[in-house]
Structure 1
Amino acid sequence: MDSFQSEYGFPGATASVAMPDGRVISVASGLADQESGALMTPETRMLAASIGKTFVAMTALSLEDEGALSRAGLVSDYLADRDWFARLPNSDTMTFGDLLRHGAGLPDHVHLETFQAEMATRMSSGTAALTPEEAIAFVLSAETLFDAGSGWAYTDTGYLLLGLVIEEASGRPYYDLVSDRFLAPLSLTATAPSNTPSIPGLAVGYVAEDNPFGLPARTMDDAGNLVWDPAMEWTGGGLVSTAHDLAMWGHKLFNGDAMEAPYLDRLLDNIPVSPDAPDIQYGAGIAIYNETARGPVYGHGGWIPGYVSSLRHYADHGVTIAFQINTDVGIADDSTDLVPALEAALADLAIEIAQSSAREETLLRDVQIIDIASGDITQGQSVLIRDGTIAEIGTEITAPEAVQVDGGGRYLIPGLWDSHVHIFSSATEPETALPLYLINGITGIRDMGALWPIADQQAMQRQIETGDMLGPRLILAGAWVDASPGSWPGIFLADTPDDARTVVGQIESEGWAAVKSYSMLDQATYATLADAAADAGLPLIGHIPERVSLEAAIDAGQSGMEHFGRIPMACSTEEQRMLDDLRRVIAEGGDQAAVFEVMAARNAIILDSWDADLCAGILRDMAEADLHVSPTLVVANFYLGNWPDDDTPQMRMIPSAVRDAWGEPDFRMEAMTNEVRALAEDSIALDRRTFAMAHAGSALP
């Protein structure tokens, strides 16, 4: 990418390749803002322009699955009541399928001089964007290019009509549909509607001085807002994205994984773009190149003032490429070969990587395999790994072409998971923590609450996935929700059931993996939080709020519970009294000290009233509900002061600055009363007794 940037002189670009196994590798080059010197990064967003047509087409196909519309259906069935519709070319004969494939015989308003003049006027004056119907008006009463269904002519106008039909057929806004059906389910977290001049994380776009729209060369003002309103594109494209998201989308789309219902035959149902080029066709929102040096290619390009994007899938090789460039200089007028040259270079690189990966074999010799179910150890084994999968296990395996690794009689185990971590608690913690997890055999972690913005966490998650950073697989589950004022910076706050639904909507839109309940939610808000999480398809995990019983949490459908302390409390015959005492203090306006006092008193009550039979029933209910528990019992060492010595093996790789920080004041330690400290060892012993009871199986159905 750097060599292309140097040769062609564009400001900046991002590029991503998706491998056959779904891995995405992303890079960036150059500048996102030439004036400020801000660097382009893989997370930098740009307008995706007409690549958005692939999302429009898939939204239409998803509605066809539901019977809401049909490709064979007439457009007039949906729009004939509009007072302008009869003035459209082929208004009586064009079908929904014609619009999908650009076969309706409509002109393209974008390239009409009258439209470009209107655009220039609106852009220079800051006037609001044209509505879809105002844009369509530029082709009313125009000459028909050909009879509907008998030819091909690319037209953004047709895709604006598609948008109107989609909304008429579904009764919902298009952007809501595409978000609910594709952006959120496929975790395309950087992709969003480009329906406002203010778009976070957007690179500055640059255009030629003599561009037909009268735009300044720099299309963004000093406040970071576009000087024109991209909302006018709508279903002609209408999305902002990253190369990473586009590559991931292409991988899902062209492998048949973008939605559950089968669709590839309809996506690829096509018409030729020209009698002179019979091997180039257009399907449902996608271009198809059947005969290329690299085999069949599917995809779409995108141009909008200041931005150029490309998405290409190479079917014979299972690889997908995407790139975005923050200028259209030399590209809009076809005076440079940058786009096809970059497409070819990225395709060849992706194919080479895929072929190399497919050939890769690794043979681990002389290892002891541990069966994690039985604990049995089998010595003197060899393990052949092919294409990232264990292909063979035995004592005599011959693989001369494989990379040979002598295990030296060491143990081989599956990768471990740590399901409760907080690695984003400081700016430098990941660089210390991530390698330590791998060194200790932990290949997956679930982060349960962070001080970093979600976009920064997702950026690191992508770097790990692509191999640009060493670290365990990362699940971002730390969208914690608590009552005001909240225990940590950046926590989501919900004091009412309405707040809970709003917060879950935000959590879903930001791309979190779960909703995490926290300690001080009231019962009504918690119950709504559980319902909203279920509606959003997100698991509810986290703390059992201090005013909610464990049985109520089970009934609410909480699927994951963090920490073990609430289980011994539920095993107490006095659980209800403890809940009522706290509810009363909070209802009476008790301050933090009063709340902590009531909660601290629970330890003695639990020790006096813990009941084994009651506990067996609670554990049985948890097992039947499949309530996963991350006990975090090791945290007890923190409260008891059982610190490892500095010269113990597990401490040697931890920087001294981190160890020193562990001794700094902590609000949790400061909140511990003398009574709590005196009871701490007994309370922790009861936690461990209850934990052992669960694992002994005595409570299982």
Structure 2
Amino acid sequence: MSVRTGLVAATAVALAAALAGPAVAAPAGAGHHGATRAAMDAAVKDGVPGVTATARDTGGTWSATAGVGDVRTLAPRGTADHYRVGSITKTFVSTVLLQLEAERRLSLDDKVEKWLPGVVRGHGHDGRRITVRQLLNHTSGIFNYTADDDFARTYFLKDGFLEHRYDTKTPEQLVAIAMTHEPLFAPGTSWSYSNTNYVLAGMVIEKVTGHSYAAEIRRRVIEPLGLRATSVPGTRTTLPRPSGHAYSKLSRATTGPTYDVTRLNPSLASSAGEMISDSADLNRFYSALLGGRLLPPKQLKEMKTTVKADEIPGARYGLGLIDRKLGCGVHVWGHDGGIHGSTSSAVTTADGRHSLAFNFNGDWSGDSDAVIEGEFCGK
């Protein structure tokens, strides 16, 4: 079962078939990536318009694509395509907060109320009982704003999305939606994936530093690592070039027309999932993170301290980081991300030496687990 942790997945917007296109692979260095290649081709046969992937290990870098980046012109996907990474954003946000902890500017055991007084209140929510750590590992019990029925109809289903795709939403507005619902459980007593947790985490970063979470990610992560394809777009509605198009059914059904959803205002995702990147940059980020280049040992250990996550079988959740045990026994660390027309995964081994990042430019089909298993367990 795929570990789908993203905005689209959280609203139960369903999956259905699209156009399969020609396969294009990098001719050199394919070697042991045959199983990865086969899983990408299978995803296209299953209905994903196109796939782009890059893997990096001690043998070098391998990139490949399958299918199309444009269902109208049948132009293929590119290995350097930019794409919306959805909830992969969460690892960047957690990294910044852990850096701030290392600088003793906050504690993960601080109550949310300390930094955001009065924000987490309503229908049983109480920021005085919830810690920053519980935001990051999804044990806060705070309701997931993207699971709100009105929000889903407005921003994920056809009529609402086509009318509201360019709306700007503030973090405060997103949190306020969650506060109209009761908590999922008492803080620290269970686990449930909630995008609201990371909207609040971004707000905490701003309160601690005096700068937006986007500015802190750029200063602390993007610029030091030279991630030239990675950005925090804010309200920018377009993708940087090169990029393919992104497609969705905008429906709970698995049949029906396919819509081009490439352009949208990502403020609806905020610090829970608005970022843009490419596969090479994601590999560089996760390799640096797991390799100890972004966090001191103490904070990296905290990030990798996991809790049981019943909603994602076969995996455990740390602080913005998923530990996934593959069928061959290999553990990989990373995150998945889903947002309109885009399903992404980025994972790496614990030593950061073998990494994989890839994107499906459709949000309704394809087996991302098969691609990961192919890379780390296949021949």
TM-score strictly above 0.5: yes
Give the counterpart letter for 1:280 in structure 2. Answer: A
Pick aligned residue for 1:74 from 93, 97, 111: 111
Q: Is the 8 A contact 2:80 2:278 kept in 1?
A: yes
Give the counterpart letter for 2:307 in structure 1. Answer: I
Give the counterpart letter for 2:360 in structure 1. Answer: I
Give 3-state SS (helix, strand or coil) of 1:125's partner: helix
Q: Deviations over 1:327-377 (max 9, x none)?
A: 0123xxxxx5x111111112235xx6xxxxxxxxxxxxxxxxxxxxxxxxx
Pick aligned residue for 1:45 from 82, 90, 97: 82
Give 3-state SS (helix, strand or coil) of 1:188's partner: coil
Identity of aligned residues (%): 25
Give 3-state SS (helix, strand or coil) of 2:182's partner: coil
Q: Deviations over 1:542-574 (max 9, x none)?
A: xxxxxxxxxxxxxxxxxxxxxxxxxxxxxxxxx
Pick aligned residue for 2:377 from 341, 348, 355: 348
Tell me which residue corresponds to 1:697.
none
- Counterpart Cα distance in 1 of 2:178 and 2:88: 23
Give the counterpart letter for 1:190 in structure 2. Answer: A
Q: Deviations over 1:182-202 (max 9, x none)?
A: 111111111111331122223
- Counterpart Cα distance in 2 of 1:138 and 1:289: 31
- Whether 1:197 aligns to 2:237 is yes
- Whether 1:295 aligns to 2:330 is yes
Larger CA Rg, structure 1 vs 2: 1
- Counterpart Cα distance in 1 of 2:74 and 2:316: 42
- Counterpart Cα distance in 2 of 1:276 and 1:317: 23
- Counterpart Cα distance in 1 of 2:311 and 2:70: 43
Tell me which residue corresponds to 1:581.
none
Question: How many pairs does the alignment contain?
Answer: 334
Give the counterpart letter for 1:329 in structure 2. Answer: W
Considering only aligned residues, what root-mean-square deviation do their CA atoms show, in Å? 2.6
Tell me which residue corresponds to 1:444.
none
- Counterpart Cα distance in 1 of 2:326 and 2:362: 30
- Whether 1:256 aligns to 2:292 is yes
Q: How far did residue 290 of structure 1 move?
A: 5.0
| Bigger mean CA offset, 35-44 vs 113-122 | 113-122
What TM-score, normalized by structure 1, do the two folds share?
0.45
Tell me which residue corresponds to 1:11.
49
Give the counterpart letter for 1:342 in structure 2. Answer: V
Q: Deviations over 1:206-237 (max 9, x none)?
A: 1125258xx973324xxxx61x3122111102
Tell me which residue corresponds to 2:30.
none
Q: How far did residue 259 of structure 1 move?
A: 4.5
**Compared with structure 1, are the counterparts of its residues 200 and 6 closer, same or farther at alpha carbon in structure 2 (3 Å cutoff)?**
closer
**Compared with structure 1, are the counterparts of its residues 63 and 122 closer, same or farther at alpha carbon in structure 2 (3 Å cutoff)?**
farther
Pick aligned residue for 1:62 from 85, 99, 123: 99
Give the counterpart letter for 1:205 in structure 2. Answer: A
- Counterpart Cα distance in 1 of 2:44 and 2:96: 39
Q: Is the 8 A contact 1:256 1:262 kept in 2?
A: no
Give 3-state SS (helix, strand or coil) of 1:265's partner: helix
Q: Is the 8 A contact 2:123 2:182 kept in 1?
A: no
Q: Is the 8 A contact 2:41 2:66 kept in 1?
A: no
Tell me which residue corresponds to 1:35.
72
Q: How far did residue 7 of structure 1 move?
A: 3.0
**Compared with structure 1, are the counterparts of its residues 246 and 135 closer, same or farther at alpha carbon in structure 2 (3 Å cutoff)?**
same
Give the counterpart letter for 1:347 in structure 2. Answer: F
Tell me which residue corresponds to 1:508.
none
Pick aligned residue for 2:189 from 150, 155, 163: 150
Give the counterpart letter for 2:189 in structure 1. Answer: S
Q: How far did residue 31 of structure 1 move?
A: 1.6
Give the counterpart letter for 1:93 in structure 2. Answer: R
Give the counterpart letter for 1:198 in structure 2. Answer: T
Give 3-state SS (helix, strand or coil) of 1:144's partner: coil
**Compared with structure 1, are the counterparts of its residues 132 and 216 closer, same or farther at alpha carbon in structure 2 (3 Å cutoff)?**
farther
- Counterpart Cα distance in 1 of 2:312 and 2:106: 33
Tell me which residue corresponds to 1:207.
248
- Whether 1:312 aligns to 2:350 is no
- Counterpart Cα distance in 2 of 1:276 and 1:49: 17
**Structure 2 spans left out of the alignment, 5+ residues:** 1-36
Give 3-state SS (helix, strand or coil) of 2:260's partner: coil
**Structure 1 spans left out of the alignment, 5+ residues:** 331-335, 353-701
Q: Deviations over 1:581-606 (max 9, x none)?
A: xxxxxxxxxxxxxxxxxxxxxxxxxx
Give 3-state SS (helix, strand or coil) of 2:185's partner: coil
Pick aligned residue for 1:181 from 220, 233, 238: 220
| Bigger mean CA offset, 238-247 vs 251-260 | 251-260
Give the counterpart letter for 2:211 in structure 1. Answer: R
- Whether 1:163 aligns to 2:202 is yes
Give 3-state SS (helix, strand or coil) of 1:258's partner: coil
**Compared with structure 1, are the counterparts of its residues 184 and 95 closer, same or farther at alpha carbon in structure 2 (3 Å cutoff)?**
same
Q: How does 1:498-513 map to 2 (within 5 A)?
A: none
- Counterpart Cα distance in 1 of 2:116 and 2:293: 32
Q: Is the 8 A contact 1:114 1:138 kept in 2?
A: no
- Counterpart Cα distance in 1 of 2:43 and 2:307: 36
Which structure is higher in RCO with an 8 Å CA cutoff and minimum separation 6? Answer: 2
Give the counterpart letter for 2:228 in structure 1. Answer: T
- Counterpart Cα distance in 2 of 1:211 and 1:188: 36
- Whether 1:324 aligns to 2:359 is yes
Q: How far did residue 123 of structure 1 move?
A: 2.6
Q: How far did residue 255 of structure 1 move?
A: 1.7
